[in-house]
Structure 1
Amino acid sequence: MLKLFLQSLFILFFLLSSGFCIESDNITASSVLKDGDTIVSSGKVYSLGFFSPEKTTNRYLGIWNNVSAISIIWVANRDKPLDDSTGIVTISEDGDILLINGKKEIFWSSNITNSPMNTTAQLLDNGNLVLIDNSNGRIIWESFGHPTDAFLPKLKLNDNPRTGERVLLTSWKTPRDPDFGSFTAGLQALNIPQIFIWNGSRPHWRSGPWNGQILTGVTDMYVVYLDGYSVTKFDDGTVSFMRDYYGKILMKIILKPNGSFVQTMWDVNRRVWNVTWIAPIDVCDVYGKCGPFGNCNLRNSPMCSCLKGYEPKNKEEWDKGNWSGGCVRKTFLQCDRNSNSSDKNKEDVFWKITNVKVPDFMDVSTALEAEECEGLCLRNCSCLAYSHDPGIGCMFWNRSLIDVRQFPVGGSVLQVRVAYSELDKKKDIRVIVIVPVTIGVVIIFIGVFFLWQSMAKRKGANRKGRILTHEVGKAYIRGSSGVVIRDDIDEASLDELPLFSFKMLETATFQFDVTNLLGKGGFGPVYKGKLVNGKDIAVKRLSRASGQGLQEFMNEVVVISKLQHRNLVSLLGCCVEKEEKMLIYEYMANRSLDLYLFNRFQEILDWTKRFNIIEGIGRGLLYLHRDSRLKIIHRDLKPSNILLDEHWNPKISDFGMARIFGGNQDQANTGRVVGTYGYMAPEYAMGGKFSEKSDVFSFGVLVLEIISGTRNTIFYNDDSSLSLLGYVSTLQMV
């Protein structure tokens, strides 16, 4: 009996000292919420109560996810904390929600004017605290209308250009202080809806325009039914941006004190918040990084360049890496030319740049087709550029072209207006050179023709039967010189590499049906296919919009066709017909490593699999650097380029960026830095120097990602705001 009494006494003491959960999701005029108590939404998803940030004693009224004690999503008295535990939440006589202390001083109020006297405050399962008029059930106030730093499903970011009213997120001042910080985020609905992050009044990041499906400057977005984003326009002029994410997955986007958006999803099995998206994701994502009429591209060195027809405004500053001044036009447009000029009638032209986030400050003509945009822009002397999106129509720019960045894939097409001479100069030079050269070639050709004809007769018998139609699983029979493919391609010997016809691959992939799509990369889409003999294959098809091209295609053919190792993907053949260029690989049943490493499938990769994957990648890399007959530097080692077979054996793929070294060569320089941000060694990213060490650096980043399950480029730590590499370097080995 004594033992039972002591246990009961202990439980009572614990409840009195630490607070307890009120069995309700609401607060009424007859009930109060004291410091130490909480109310919980009906589905037990969110709680409302008092909390103190780490290393402080200040008390705040807030809402948090029940899955994690540190996931605060709303704070009431963020700029007026209580300094003791006497706080009480109650419904006032006039129907307001009040937060008061023991001295009856008001620290926060819902501040409803003309509110009804009979109200109830209720916490909903989506994290919204609402004040309800009990007489008719109408919501007269909600915390979603006054958010803190969290963008949750069902929360609306509003903008009314007519009245100037907005619903904005505001960052915490510091990770431990929920007071109002320097950064705000919200919707700008002028002309085309866009999401912005502002640092004070200055733009810090911009999403690009909404086209009815996605924010076109966010390449990680898909479509409405996958991401759940939507934009709604109301009769009073209000425009709302909302996310209605399907399913019961807990997710949130937090505006951090350093001005970054960080999206996290709750991993039920590991009981952690996984970072799934971050913005700005790199330096090119920062608003106006390269100034007016500048273009930011991480694949270039330096990353900033002027758009066609423009030159640096301050060449000295530009060469020092200060690009904020941007660029200015170097050649007059048609409208600006002198009326007496001899070239006054020569019309301006457009220079196309692909895979871009289009500039800010666009005007829109929604009802126009793509072919109408160019004519309208040409007829308007102030029109500097145009773009067309099926979901938007024509976009025109009449002011500065600011915040242009170029992606490896995705984005939009921008047509920049330039003087005719900017594109004709090369043509004029070519005419001067080509005409005399052509005459000389014709004369030589006549002499060579007769010699070639006699040689062709002797070789005809040998060639006949050697290069025939391709049979499944068999290579062409070749002479010693190998097969030479010609189709607007430089000659390339494909030493015993099978050639597949386009018809064969079209059949194997069911006309490249979307259901067979395995994924997309910088090269283009990859499809699963099945040959007539039952063999599964992966077909990588060069996309016309790809950031890669012929050089990478031929490089991969030449490099990988000479390599054989259990940890390198096998190239089965290629296809080159007219505009089509495709590579055919062995099919990897478990696809790429990143599919499992950075999402809810992480639990599939137990420690045994992870260790074997690391070991296999290391063996493949050692073969490339030391054991193969060619010394190969891969230059783009990352999770998406590690494929997994049915036994989870890793195989290194994508050799489009690879370089072959000579026997005694151990380092090289390049003016064209290629690869992926976050995996490139510093001396390569900044100076273009690459060697075996470049791949070893990428391998090290890859190992850290495999161990942690966190992507280096979107790692975020509240205390230090470092990358994954920076965070690991601060850890002390015990």
Structure 2
Amino acid sequence: MGLELRRVQLQTMAKITFSIFIIVPTIGLSLATDTLGTNRSISHGETLVSSDLTFELGFFTPGNSSMSYLGIWYKFSPRTVVWVANRNKPIADRNGVLTFTNVGNLVVLDQSNGVVWSSKSSRVLRNPIAQLLDSGNLVLWDSSFSSSDESYSWQSFDCPSDTLLAGMKLVLNLKTGLEQRLTAWKSMDDPSPGDYVHSLNYSQGLPQYEVVQVDRHRKIFRTGQWNGVQFVGLPAGSNPANVPMFVYNETEISYMFEVQNRQLFSTMKLNYLGVLQIFVVNRSKSAMWNVMLAFPSDLCDFYGSCGANAICSSNLCECVKGFMPKSPDEWAVRVFSSGCKRTIPTNCSKGDGFMEIKKVKLPDPLEVTLNRSMSLKECKDECLKNCSCTAYANSDITGGGSGCLMWFGDLIDMRMLEDGKYVQALYLRLSASELGIHTYAS
């Protein structure tokens, strides 16, 4: 099992820098407009173009496929498809049509006039208008009223494919349960939903984003928890091409990014291999996209690559103090997934203590308790009293630190961080003898 995991990791890392922008839409006749009304439809070879000439919408055939899809791509980079409508129902020829129903829904029809995709807008529209905005958002609204975000009855930004654009959200509505996430393509030539998703995990009340292989129920990568300032496992600092914005309140948890430089374009894409990539292009210089970040990109990014109770650093794993490899033979050949076990069991009655580990991506909150009102001192006392508590940390670093996060059981997916400015320290429970604490019999 450990050897197989290592093989998959090496194969994936070798492919990470492989360009995913290989989809070649058929560039056809533009309708020279960004809007579509009930008096016209779009067939294969016709397109809508956003008013600033950035995005284009039309039918395309990906790679070596013979199937046809309605999609949106960059006009200056037509291989870069950012949204696909009929992912689950491709059209077998080039006779697809985008048009309206009599209640104002956008629909894609196949050669026999069967509906292969519908916008399923929230209300009946008397005078429907579909518009491709400069943001890449395809919106549907009623021309009987003024156009605004509030008046859109449907928008493609609410239905992500495999790509996040500037101004687009990955969101979890805490009241309705509505979730928007990225789903990878099945292959380079097949836009249907693939094996990997990038979504928010909020199961323990601590938001973190994850890449998960759905069919195997296996985590590939996680950002680490939100600590009030950032997701602890992501690089700190801002970039004009990708300025992250995170909302966390009683109504919703959402992530989006903005671009401050008008010459820069950026996308976040989950490719069919399960690699989350952030691309950037400077249009004033070229139309060449460059990979700015990729996750996972090394051994330490892969979820649980070092197994339990170990820390990953510089592509190597090390058992934390007080632990030793469970399988020394595997560790000798750099197969670390078996993890580590304690060298000396803890013993509450003899006075355990804690060791501070700085600049660390905190373990995955699998078996944890969270108390947002406790101080770090109160957290330590509470963990010390509970013999099953293996580690603790502040849950929030703002205002000098607050909240109590306690782990029970093994500690999974830790790594050392280069920048420790906005991260918590982890306090690991060890036996008195490991810490050099002298105890006396009563």
State the TM-score, normalized to the length of structure 2.
Answer: 0.82
1:381 maps to 387
1:274 maps to 290
Residue type of the alignment partner of 1:366: R
Distance change (3 Å), C-alpha of 1:247 and 1:213: farther
Residue type of the alignment partner of 2:433: S
SS in 1 for 2:382: helix
Aligned match of 2:361 in 357, 362, 372?
A: 357
1:104 maps to 113
1:256 maps to 271
Cα deviation, residue 80, structure 1: 1.9
Do residues 204 (structure 1) and 220 (structure 2) align?
Answer: yes
1:213 maps to 229
Cα deviation, residue 318, structure 1: 4.2
2:415 maps to 405
Distance change (3 Å), C-alpha of 1:133 and 1:197: same
Cα deviation, residue 161, structure 1: 5.6
Per-residue CA deviation, residues 80-130 of structure 1 (Å, 9 max, x unaligned), is: 222222111011112111001232121211123554443221111111111
Residue type of the alignment partner of 1:291: G
Distance change (3 Å), C-alpha of 1:202 and 1:135: farther
Aligned partners of 1:363 and 1:22: how far apart in 2? 57
Do residues 170 (structure 1) and 183 (structure 2) align?
Answer: yes
Residue type of the alignment partner of 1:264: F
Aligned partners of 2:268 and 2:231: how far apart in 1? 16
Between 1:239-248 and 1:82-91, the stretch displaced more is: 239-248
Residue type of the alignment partner of 2:426: L
Q: Which runs of 5+ in 1 are unaligned?
A: 1-16, 336-343, 429-734
Per-residue CA deviation, residues 220-251 of structure 1 (Å, 9 max, x unaligned), is: 2315999532222454x432112133232211
Cα deviation, residue 363, structure 1: 4.0
Per-residue CA deviation, residues 7-55 of structure 1 (Å, 9 max, x unaligned), is: xxxxxxxxxx973111221222222111111111122211111111122
1:244 maps to 258
8 Å Cα contact 1:187/1:241 also seen in 2: no
8 Å Cα contact 1:293/1:327 also seen in 2: yes
Do residues 78 (structure 1) and 100 (structure 2) align?
Answer: no
8 Å Cα contact 1:213/1:230 also seen in 2: no
Cα deviation, residue 69, structure 1: 1.3
Residue type of the alignment partner of 1:396: M
Cα deviation, residue 295, structure 1: 1.6
Cα deviation, residue 63, structure 1: 0.4
SS in 1 for 2:91: coil
Aligned match of 2:207 in 180, 189, 193?
A: 193
Aligned partners of 2:224 and 2:157: how far apart in 1? 24
Aligned partners of 1:225 and 1:234: how far apart in 2? 26
1:151 maps to 164
8 Å Cα contact 1:194/1:207 also seen in 2: yes
Aligned partners of 2:132 and 2:374: how far apart in 1? 47
Residue type of the alignment partner of 2:200: L
Bigger relative CO (Cα 8 Å, ≥ 6 apart): 2
Cα deviation, residue 260, structure 1: 0.8
Aligned partners of 1:129 and 1:151: how far apart in 2? 14
**Pairwise mapping of residues 553-568 of structure 1 onto structure 2 (< 5 A)?**
none
Distance change (3 Å), C-alpha of 1:86 and 1:209: same
Distance change (3 Å), C-alpha of 1:226 and 1:382: farther
SS in 1 for 2:387: coil
Aligned CA RMSD, in angstroms, stands at 2.6
8 Å Cα contact 1:262/1:275 also seen in 2: yes
Distance change (3 Å), C-alpha of 1:65 and 1:19: closer
Per-residue CA deviation, residues 159-209 of structure 1 (Å, 9 max, x unaligned), is: 246654321101111122212111100222342221110111221100112
Distance change (3 Å), C-alpha of 1:194 and 1:167: same
Per-residue CA deviation, residues 120-160 of structure 1 (Å, 9 max, x unaligned), is: 21111111111224444411211111111111111111124
Q: Which runs of 5+ in 2 are unaligned?
A: 1-25
Aligned partners of 1:274 and 1:221: how far apart in 2? 20
Distance change (3 Å), C-alpha of 1:224 and 1:165: farther
Aligned match of 1:305 in 289, 309, 318?
A: 318
Aligned partners of 1:224 and 1:384: how far apart in 2? 37
8 Å Cα contact 1:213/1:223 also seen in 2: no
Distance change (3 Å), C-alpha of 1:306 and 1:163: farther
Distance change (3 Å), C-alpha of 1:224 and 1:69: closer
Residue type of the alignment partner of 2:35: N
**Pairwise mapping of residues 618-633 of structure 1 onto structure 2 (< 5 A)?**
none
Cα deviation, residue 286, structure 1: 0.3
**Pairwise mapping of residues 293-442 of structure 1 onto structure 2 (< 5 A)?**
293-298=309-314, 303-335=316-348, 344=349, 346-361=350-365, 362-388=368-394, 389-391=396-398, 393-394=402-403, 395-410=405-420, 412-424=424-436
Aligned partners of 2:210 and 2:358: how far apart in 1? 23
State the TM-score, normalized to the length of structure 1.
Answer: 0.51
2:61 maps to 52
1:41 maps to 50
SS in 2 for 1:69: strand
Aligned partners of 1:155 and 1:382: how far apart in 2? 42
Aligned partners of 2:213 and 2:364: how far apart in 1? 17
Distance change (3 Å), C-alpha of 1:224 and 1:398: farther
Aligned partners of 2:233 and 2:270: how far apart in 1? 18
Cα deviation, residue 67, structure 1: 1.7
8 Å Cα contact 1:94/1:116 also seen in 2: yes
8 Å Cα contact 2:35/2:130 also seen in 1: yes
- Give the aligned length: 397
8 Å Cα contact 1:214/1:229 also seen in 2: no
Cα deviation, residue 316, structure 1: 4.5
Distance change (3 Å), C-alpha of 1:408 and 1:243: closer
Aligned partners of 1:393 and 1:225: how far apart in 2? 31
Aligned partners of 1:255 and 1:226: how far apart in 2? 18
Aligned partners of 2:240 and 2:78: how far apart in 1? 31
1:91 maps to 100
Cα deviation, residue 319, structure 1: 4.2
Cα deviation, residue 412, structure 1: 4.1
Aligned partners of 1:18 and 1:294: how far apart in 2? 52
Aligned partners of 1:377 and 1:18: how far apart in 2? 62
Per-residue CA deviation, residues 581-626 of structure 1 (Å, 9 max, x unaligned), is: xxxxxxxxxxxxxxxxxxxxxxxxxxxxxxxxxxxxxxxxxxxxxx
Aligned partners of 1:396 and 1:422: how far apart in 2? 21
